[in-house]
């Protein structure tokens, strides 16, 4: 089985994905890392040198490749992946794939992201928590129609990583 984790940046996809993979004895793949290895460029360098359209096409290509060739994998997607091309349809139609939306509230995301803005090119330019709140709110408004297509939705607010992993396992098995 492939478990696909979707959600906004800082919702815990990679952290939870690694813990879930250990628990299930599955492999863990972060789609952005996979793309960087295949393209021999960082995601930000791909954006700079080849543009977002190229990146989004490659993202869909590699997502489809992984969904068709891997088993027993936890696959963490970038926050925007479900929103481009037909990526959510690919996930929904793939055999032996379950999708999980790690749902975090705007205040929880602001709290996490305000500490890590420098490491996130998309939000590095945002100066205040108020502006960050507005940015995240707008993004989530646009992305929720895609995220909500996931088979399972897990609210992550005020939960430990262990509690989130346990809740995912209870939902799936």
Residue ranges at the known binding site: 10-15, 32, 56, 79, 120, 143
Task: Give strand pairing partners of 73.
Answer: 2, 27
The Cβ-side half-sphere exposure at 74, using a 13 Å CA radius, reads 24
**In terms of Cα–Cα distance, which of 108, 106, 97 is closest to 159?**
108
List, as residue ranges, the binding site for Mg(2+). 14
**Sheet strands (E) in 55-139:** 73-76, 97-103
Residue set of the binding site for substrate: 32, 56, 79, 143
Q: Which residues pair with 127 in a beta bridge?
A: none
Residue 89: in which H helix or E strand, if any?
helix 87-93
CB-based contact 111:88 (threshold 8 Å): no
Binding residue numbers for ATP: 10-15, 120
Distances (CA, A) of 160 to 5, 16, 144, 173: 17, 10, 23, 20
Distance separating alpha carbons of residues 4 and 98, to the nearest angstrom = 6
Residue closest to 3 by CA, chosen among 75, 79, 80: 75
């Amino acid at each position: 089985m492939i478990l696909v984790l979707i959600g906004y940046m800082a919702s815990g996809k990679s952290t939870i994905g690694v813990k879930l993979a250990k628990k299930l004895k599955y492999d863990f793949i972060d789609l952005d890392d996979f793309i960087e290895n295949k393209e021999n460029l960082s995601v930000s360098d791909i954006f700079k040198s080849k543009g977002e359209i190229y990146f989004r096409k490659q993202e869909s290509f590699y997502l489809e490749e992984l969904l068709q060739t891997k088993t027993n994998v936890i696959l963490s997607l970038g926050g925007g992946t479900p929103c481009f091309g037909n990526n959510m349809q690919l996930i929904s139609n793939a055999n032996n794939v379950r999708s999980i939306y790690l749902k975090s509230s705007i205040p929880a995301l602001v709290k996490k992201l305000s500490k890590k803005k420098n490491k996130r090119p998309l939000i590095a330019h945002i100066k205040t928590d108020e502006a960050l709140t507005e940015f995240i709110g707008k993004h989530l408004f646009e992305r929720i129609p895609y995220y909500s297509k996931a088979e399972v939705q897990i609210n992550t607010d005020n939960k430990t990583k262990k509690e989130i992993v346990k809740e995912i396992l209870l939902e799936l098995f």
